[in-house]
Chains A and B, each alone.
Chain A
């Protein structure tokens, strides 16, 4: 029986993905999961690849968004999916979830992955919440989709406030990432989704 607690997030760090990223973090925290991502790893220095591999390996599940296709080409997401697949194939204790914004596109862009259903979020935060809730089972029961969406909405507003305070346009910064997870946890506790 799988009881995932740490989830590695492999997503594009671009402005258009920011609301989806915050929604993803918020929904995982509502479900009592620990969202982990490369923002926790220092940008430069030797051994970055090893540290990424260790971080992926320390998580029981990883979520990979492959919705960014076209130019400029971004190889980080498929590359980290490859790392996760190697882990899953070697020890079988790693769950892999792939997301895209359009249905059936992955059959063309990543035909080796055919036969598995990606989550299709259509670049919509509400759809992303529904996809994630459909994917998991948890006891005590799942929060209602509207409750999870409402928390994600509040978290997105909080993330915008944090960006404003830190005078940065991007949520993809290490300290901001931790503050967003802390905010998600605080909101989730205040609404009774997780224990303090």
Chain B
């Protein structure tokens, strides 16, 4: 299959040609941060024993 050659448009060119409003950009940015927040909050908190191991390691190197 022959390859189709492409040139990259910038994000602002993409937004202009689709008529994306500042409100829609804001909505998008809000959703992206919400997803990032969910991802962070799903991360398991370190266990007590892991905390003790880290503390011991710090003590042994004099940190």
Contacts and interface: CB of A to CB of B under 8 A. Distances in A.
A179 B7 contact: no
A149 B54 CA distance: 35
Interface range on chain B: under 10, 10 to 19, 20 to 34, or 35 or more? 20 to 34
B35 interface: yes
B63 interface: no
A5 B20 CA distance: 17
* Most B CB within 10 A of own CB, among A40, A181, A187: A181
A95 interface: yes
A137 B6 contact: yes
Contact of A182 (B4, B5, B9, B20): B20
Contacts of B28: 158, 162, 179-180, 182-183, 186
A194 B4 contact: no
Nearest to A162: B31
Contacts of B57: none
A60 B33 CA distance: 34
A97 B2 CA distance: 11
A178 B6 CA distance: 22
Given A34-B17, A154-B35, A158-B35, A182 B6 contact: no
A110 interface: no
A31 B19 CA distance: 19
Contact of A136 (B5, B14, B25): B5
Interface of A: 1-6, 29, 31-34, 36, 40, 61, 95, 97, 117, 134-138, 154, 157-159, 161-162, 165, 175, 178-183, 185-189, 194-196
Interface of B: 1, 3-15, 17-21, 24-25, 27-32, 34-35, 38
